[in-house]
Amino acid sequence: MRYLLIDRITEWKAGERIKGLKSVAMTEDFLEFHFPGNPVMPGVLLLEALAQLAGWLEAVSSDFMKWFLLTKVRSGRFYGFALPGDQVELEVKALPESDPDKRVYAGLGTVTGKKKISAQFEGELVSLGDLEDIAAQRKYFQILTRK
């Protein structure tokens, strides 16, 4: 199963930062069992959403030649639940200790200004063409950015 956890990309600056949105819908299958009768978005999926947003930053910054793959979570804190109907505002910023082979990011997720997750994570850059069809990813990015 594959979860695409970024619903919209609202802004970015190549090589530096990116912002996006995740709308939590009651119909998402992960809510059925997490938790029965009290649905909340799993915190690990909020972390995955930040990693996916970092992937989009690497893609747009490299003319869709590279993608980010998470290898290590340096720190992660959860501050509350993202519930059905919430719109999680996500932001990822490149940290200075990044280099050509490894990227380090700080990520933050909030709902109506209230922090839900903060994390520092790192990963490697891989060829996007080895994972996905590049033309299809360019088109999907246009959909996500409404451009």
Residues recognised as catalytic: 34
Task: List, edge to edge, every strand of the sheet that includes 102-111.
Answer: 8-13, 17-23, 87-94, 102-111, 114-127, 66-78
The per-residue DSSP string of 60-89 comes to: HHTTTSEEEEEEEEEEEEE-S---TT-EEE
Q: By the 8 A CB rule, do 18 and 56 touch?
A: yes
Question: CA separation (Å) from 6 to 36, 47, 88, 101, 145?
Answer: 24, 12, 10, 24, 11
